[in-house]
Amino acid sequence: MDTNDTLRAVFRCVGRSEEFCLVPNAFDARLFSEDDLLEVLRAMSSVPSNQVKIRVYVDGGLRHDYEARVLRSPPAIDERLETWVTRIFAGASFGIAINSAEQFNDALATRFARLFARDVDVWAQAAGGVDMVFFIGNYGYTPFGIHHDGDDSTILHFHRGPGDKTLMFWKPEEFVRLTGSRESHFRPADLLGTANNFRLTPNSAFYMPPGQYHIGNNPDLSVDLTLGFSRISQSEIRRRAATDEIGRYLIPAADEKKGSLSGVVDNPLLMEFVEDSIEDFRLGFLSNCGYSTPPVPDGLVPNVTTADTVSACPPFKLYHRISSDKKLRIFARRNRIVVNYRKGLQAVVEALNREALPVEKLLDLASCDLHSDAVLRFLNLLSAHRAIYTVRD
Ligand SMILES: O=C(O)CCC(=O)C(=O)O
Ligand SMILES: [Fe+2]
């Protein structure tokens, strides 16, 4: 078996296996290296801070001042992780957790998506979103204690090192018997002898089935990437789809969260609206292989010209549908573009999914009902959202 087959076998556990699966030496730097994390840290520092989900712990405590420091002083272009860590934390024990990291390194997100796109039915197993999370540090025990991530959340670890990580697990009944509670437990030393332990050496892949209490232990500096697949119920899908849709029309006050819609919808018109929203939600989700967040746009400077050849970015595909109001709705990396129906534009979208094509050819395909400037603008929009790229020979 080559490396990719081994890794794909680990992904095939998602939604199918109740057993742990630890594979030492499962991958190498071509899949994921320290450089990928450095890229995430740099990209994070250049987006609005409300788009970043980061927690920074120093000597076991959550520290917003260090969070600001991490975001303000990312690694320089040629700075190594260890040097950066020393610059920021000056030898203190620290931990950084970064959620939704997929948006900050598209090459990395694509490499992982290639591994799970074929084997995980993301709509069935992860409609709650695929979340890429980094755990970085020499924090010892996970600073948020022995915890449970919900019965519907399946997590895979890709442990890069250089330090080892031990992950410790307790069945829920056992945990409650030992601690007298279902709450997180912050004194792991009390329970050490009772855990089921797995040691993740550098480059191990690990599948942890849903539902168990757990904690990590990193005595030495290590970098760990996890992918979480979260299942949600049909009613939760409905609620999220409708909330997403309504949210597009709401301008929340600065101190307010997104609008929310809960409960069963019993108004037929609203129900139709919700069903429509679910279809948009589903296609948007599939266009990003399930990842929760779209990639950070690649600047908005047009770069596709009539001299180029362009391609979709496999395994990501463009999705589209024609709604009852005769709009063409195009889904690209979890962005949505809605335009009046044009046969020519539909032909372009379908062609992009099939093969790499010269832009000239795409302009030809659309020429029945679209001006070439409009097609070029459309291609540049897709390119800015990383849904197509220019093929260089
Ligand atoms: O690596 C850690 O410290 C914690 C990992 C964890 O809680 C998880 O993957 O769900
Ligand atoms: Fe966890």
Q: Is the distance from CB of 42 to CB of 75 less than 8 angstroms?
A: yes
Confidence label for 251 from pLDDT (cuts 50, 70 and 90): low
Q: What is the mean pLDDT of residues 167-196?
A: 96
Express each pLDDT in 220-230 by its tens digit: 999 999 999 99
Q: Which atom belonging to ligand 1 lies closest to the Cα atom of 149? A: 10
Does the structure show a pLDDT above 70 at 209? yes
Does the structure show a pLDDT above 50 at 262? no
Token pair belonging to 344: 């020519």
Ligand positioned closest to the Cα atom of 154: 1
Of 3 and 204, more confident? 204
Confidence label for 245 from pLDDT (cuts 50, 70 and 90): confident
Q: Is the peptide bond before 48 cis (omega within 30 degrees of 0)?
A: no
How far does residue 215's CA lie from ligand 1's centre (Å)? 6
How far does residue 53's CA lie from ligand 1's centre (Å)? 16
Express each pLDDT in 358-383 by its tens digit: 999 999 999 999 999 999 999 999 99
Measure CA of the first residue to CA of the last residue in the chain; give whole Å.
Answer: 31
Distance CA 24, CA 30 (A): 16
How far does residue 142's CA lie from ligand 2's centre (Å)? 9
Q: What is the mean pLDDT of residues 139-151?
A: 96
DSSP string, 272-286: HHHHHHHHHHHHHHH
Protein residues whose CB sits closer than 6 Å to any atom of ligand 1: 135, 142, 149, 155, 165, 214, 216, 224, 226
How far does residue 144's CA lie from ligand 1's centre (Å)? 9
* Largest distance between two CA atoms of the chain: 73
Pocket test for ligand 1, best of 14, 155, 164, 206 (most atoms within 8 A of CB): 155
Does the structure show a pLDDT above 90 at 303? no
Q: Is the distance from CB of 312 to CB of 318 less than 8 angstroms?
A: yes
Q: What is the mean pLDDT of residues 204-224?
A: 97
Percent of the chain with pLDDT over 70: 95
